[in-house]
Amino acid sequence: MLYTRILTVLLVGLSTLLLGSFAAGANPSSNSAQYEFETDAQERQFRQLVNELRCPKCQNQSIADSDAPLAVDLRDRVYLMTMEGQSREDIIEFMRVRYGDFVHYKPPVNASTLILWVGPAAVLLGGVLTIVLMTRRQRRTVDLSADEQARLDALLNADDSEQAKEQRK
C-alpha cells in the first residue's frame, strides 16, 4: 500500500514535469525559436540587433531577452528585414521611427538625448571642480597684522595656562 502510494506520487510528478517541458518547447513565441539564415553575416546581424534593441514594453530588457509578445513580434520583424537584405542601420531606423529613441540602447546624439551624453561628464566635472574649490578654501591662510598676531598669541598662551592649571588639580 505504501509503495503503491509512493509510486503513484512519483509517476504523477514525472508526468507533470514531462508535460510541462513539452508544453514549453511547443510554445511558438518562445525565445528559443530557431531562425534559419542563408549566410553567417545575416545571423550575426540578427543576433547583434536583437541584443541591441530594447523591448518597448519591458523594463530595460533587449528583445532577445524578453518574453513579451511585442518582443517576439520585433524579433520576427528584425528577422524578416534581415532576410530581405536590409542593412543594420535601416532596421534600427525603422524601429526608432516606430518606437522612438528608447528602443535603441545606443541613442543618437540630438537635442532630446543631449543630456544623456553630456550629463555624466558635466556631473563629473562639477564634482572635481567642487573638490578643488573646497581644498583651496581650506588651505587659504590669513595674514595677520602685528597687533592681531599678538592678541592671538596672548589668547593661545592664556588657554595653555588654563589647561595646565586644570591638569594640576
- Residue pLDDT, tens place only, 93-114: 999 999 888 888 887 777 877 7
Distances (CA, A) of 48 to 41, 64, 80, 104, 165: 10, 9, 15, 12, 79
Average pLDDT over residues 28-47: 77
What is the rounded average pLDDT of the residues 24-43?
Answer: 67
Which of 62-66, 76-80, 108-112, 159-163 is the least confident region? 159-163
User: Residue 12 — pLDDT band, cuts 50, 70, 90?
Assistant: low
Please name each of the domains of the chain with its CATH number.
Answer: 28-103 (1.10.8.640), 114-168 (no CATH)
Quick one: pLDDT at residue 90? 95
Average pLDDT, the chain: 81
The strand pairing partners of 54, in sequence order, are 62
What confidence tens digit (pLDDT) does each residue in 75-94 have?
999 999 999 999 999 999 99
- For residue 31, name the pLDDT band (cuts at 50, 70, 90): very low
CA 79, CA 91: separation in Å to the nearest integer?
10
